[in-house]
Amino acid sequence: MNFERYLIDQALAHPATQPLDIIKQCYQAAYGAEHLLADMDRARNYIEREYASVAPNANIPLYEAISPQVCRINLAAWKQRNWPLEWLFRMFADTASLSTDRQQATHRFLSYLDTADSLIQSSQLPIAFSSTQWTETLSTYKQSEMTAVHHSDAYRQAEHPAYRILHQDFVRLLPILEAVADHTKKARRSTDPTMSSQLPSPCIIAIDGRAASGKTTMADQLAQILGGDVIRMDDFFLPLDLRTQERLQTPGGNVHYERFSEEVLPHLHAPKAFSYRRFDCHIMDFNGQRQISACPIRIVEGSYSHHPALGDYANIKVFSHVTADKQLDRILHRNGPQMARMFKERWIPMEENYIHAYRIDTSSQIVIDSTDLF
C-alpha cells in the first residue's frame, strides 16, 4: 500500500482532520516516535498520566496504520482490553530507539508532504478544509524549523486522540499478546487463594514455523515486551552419532527431542531458574549452558518446537509462515549462495515434511504470516 492510501484512510476515519493533522501524520510516518523518548522516565510518567485520563472504548480500533512502517496504538482501545500498560510502553520504547537515518527520514518526510499536497490540490483527499488553507499552513510550516507539531484544536476536540507510535512489525504480535493476557486471566481465576505465596507457573509460548520466517526476531521481541526468556531449538541440534538414515527419514527426526525432554521439559513450568546444555552446530559439540531465569513467560523458539514427541507442553502454540520465494530470498541474503542451496535441497524439504506430516501449521492456535515483515 502506498502512502496515498494511508492519508485517505486517516482522513476518512477522522473527519475533523485539519492541515496540521496531515503534517503530523507525514512527520510521524517519516520519523516514527524517536523525538518523544529523549527522557525515558519522563516518557513513562507521561504515558501513565495519559492512560489514567482516558476511558476504555470498545468502539475504536486498537491500531491504525499511518504508513507502511508505522501505526498508532489507541490507548482507549488498549485499556478496554485491560492489557498491561508496560507491554505497550516497551514496544513504544523499542520503536523510538530504532536507529533512523535523519537524512533519509527528512527525504521521506518531504516526499510525504508532496504526496499530501498532490492529493489535496487534485481534490482526492476527503477533507473539510480548503486547498487554500492547506497551502497557507504548509507554507508557514516550511518557513519554520519543520519540527514535530501537535494535533489541531479541532481534531483534539472531535477525535480525542490518545495513542502511541509503534513500528508496524509489532502488529503481528498483537494476537499473541491477546492470548497471553487471556491465559493470565484464566490462571489467576484458577489460583488457590490459600496458596497466595506460591509463584504461578510460567506461561509457555512455543513458536514453530518455516525457516527464515522471523521466528527468532518474534521470540526476542516477545521476550522484551513480556519480560520473558527464550529456549532455542537450535541448541538441540542433532549430534552426528544420532544422524542415522532411519532417524533423518522420520519427520522431525533431525532435532534432539530426547534431550529437550530430559533437560528442559521437567523444569519448563516450574517458577524457578534452570539451565540446559547448548549444542553448537559449528563445532558439532556442546558449548556451555543457557541460563533460563525465573520469569513469568518462557518462549520456546525454533523449528520442531511443536514436535509431538515433546507432548502438549505449550500454553500458546504459534506458527510462523513465509512464502517459498521470500523464504529463499532471505536465506540467500542471510546465509549466502552455498548455504541457500543446502537449505533448498536438504533442510527445507525435511522441514516441510515435518510440517505436513504432523499438521504443524493447522494445529497451531495462532498463525503469523511474516512474509512482508522485512
Taking the C-alpha atoms of residue 298 and residue 296, their distance in angstroms, rounded to an integer, is 7
Cβ proximity of 32 and 96 under 8 Å: yes
Domains of the chain, each with CATH number or no CATH = 3-170 (no CATH), 191-369 (3.40.50.300)
The per-residue pLDDT for range 150-178, each reduced to its tens digit, is 999 999 999 999 999 999 999 999 999 99
Taking the C-alpha atoms of residue 317 and residue 200, their distance in angstroms, rounded to an integer, is 20
Angle at which helix 19-31 crosses helix 102-121, to 10 degrees, equals: 150
The per-residue pLDDT for range 175-192, each reduced to its tens digit, is 999 999 999 999 888 766
Residue 354, beta-bridge partner list: none
The per-residue pLDDT for range 36-77, each reduced to its tens digit, is 566 788 889 999 999 999 999 999 999 999 999 999 999 999
Taking the C-alpha atoms of residue 55 and residue 80, their distance in angstroms, rounded to an integer, is 8
Q: Which residues of the chain have pLDDT under 50?
A: none
| Structure-block grid coordinates of residue 104 | 533519509
SS3 state at 135: helix
pTM for this prediction? 0.94
What is the reported pLDDT for 102?
86
